[in-house]
């Protein structure tokens, strides 16, 4: 089930000083370190929020504009500005964020990085 994030309407999602928290997979909680926007034309009475689907990774400092959906197992890189939906299983980064590679390649790059840590 995707998570609709609306800070103003959901006080239980508040984590002062640490960004937004949302219910995670299997009832856990995950920290969402980016900046999520609710309003495409501030200040407005109509809020859209951001949808983050299960298994998605939002890296530090990312900004997600209102109405954006980050698909299942998608990855948003550090400092990215997400202006459009992110397809499931896609890695995006940049400003504006654009697709760079798929989730399988992300896992392989992470695996190689983790094993090289001790060698060097």
pLDDT at 6 over 60: no
Greater model confidence, 84 or 60: 84
The distance of Cα 45 from the centroid of its chain, to the nearest Å, equals 24
Q: Distance (Å, rounded) from C-alpha 60 to C-alpha 39?
A: 21
Mean of pLDDT over the chain? 77
pLDDT per residue over 13-44, tens digit each? 433 333 343 433 444 445 555 677 777 777 77
**Cα-based distances in Å from 5 to 2, 19, 118:** 10, 12, 38
pLDDT per residue over 38-70, tens digit each? 777 777 788 888 899 999 999 988 999 989 999
pTM for the predicted model, two decimal places: 0.70
Q: Are strands 81-82 and 63-64 parallel, antiparallel or unpaired?
A: parallel
Residue 7 sits in which domain range? 3-119
Say how many domains are in the chain: 1
CATH code assigned at 31: 2.160.10.10
> Which pLDDT score, from 0 to 100, does residue 32 have?
55
The DSSP string of the chain is --EEE-TTT-GGGB-TTS-EEEE-GGG-EEEE-SEE---SSSS-S----EEE-TT-EE-TT-EE-TT-EE-TT-EE-TT-EE-S-B-TTEEEEETTEEEEEEHHHHHHHHHHHHHHGGG-
């Amino acid at each position: 089930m995707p998570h609709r994030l609306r800070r103003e309407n959901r006080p239980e999602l508040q984590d002062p000083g640490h960004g937004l928290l949302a219910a995670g997979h299997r009832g856990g909680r995950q920290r969402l370190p980016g900046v999520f926007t609710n309003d495409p034309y501030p200040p407005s009475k109509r809020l859209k929020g951001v949808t983050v689907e299960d298994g998605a990774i939002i890296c530090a400092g990312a900004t997600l504009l209102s109405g954006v959906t980050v698909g299942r197992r998608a990855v948003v890189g550090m400092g990215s500005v997400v202006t459009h939906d992110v397809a499931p299983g896609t890695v995006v980064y940049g400003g504006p964020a654009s697709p760079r590679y798929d989730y399988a390649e992300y896992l392989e790059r992470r695996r190689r990085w983790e094993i090289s840590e001790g060698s060097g």
